[in-house]
Amino acid sequence: MSQALLIIDIQAGLCTGKYAVFEAERVIGNVNRISEQARAQGVPVVVIQHEEDEGSLVYNSAGWQLAESLVATPQDVFIRKGASDSFHKTELQAKLQSLGITELIVCGMQSDFCVNSTVRRGLALGYPITLVSDAHSTLDNSVLTAEQIIAHHNETLSQLSSFGVRAQLKTTEEVLSR
């Protein structure tokens, strides 16, 4: 199978300040290690950036920019999106198809929004997915802590079976040892 690594929304507005996700720098460190290996192995790295009409993720604003500590290269594929689903009204699916991609590795922000939506859509499109269990994050909400939300999404997404293909959980170390 031909893999691609999706790095979802690791942007300044989600990694610093009021809306900084839980353990952002640890997550970014894990993502950087995975992406470095992916690039060395010729696995395409797809960097996805969310944008909104107002707020901290307005296109080209300081918050929209990639997080300062995230390593991205000119060889990476860059995708802009306006919905939580990275496939919705973007060129992501066409790009993956043109590269012959049949399997996805997913990491990024936020576990309960864009990571969740993208994993579910990817499964619906027939991609087996490796969700890197310690390389996605979110923030607390009024009901659950970020740690609980992350654990919940790891469990829920890895249990989905109705699409035929599955999302399997792997830690950063497990992904790096392949």
Summarised one tens digit per residue, pLDDT across range 21-30 is 999 999 999 9
Mean pLDDT of the chain: 97
* pLDDT surpasses 80 at 17: yes
Segment 133-171, tens digit of pLDDT:
999 999 999 999 999 999 999 999 999 999 999 999 999
Q: DSSP characters for 20-75? A: PPTTHHHHHHHHHHHHHHHHHTT--EEEEEE-BSSSTTBTTSTTTSBPTT----TT
pTM, 2 dp: 0.98
> Which one of 10, 114, 123, 131 is the catalytic residue?
114
Q: Is 15 a catalytic residue?
A: no
Say which DSSP state 158 is in: H
Whether residue 1 has pLDDT greater than 70? no
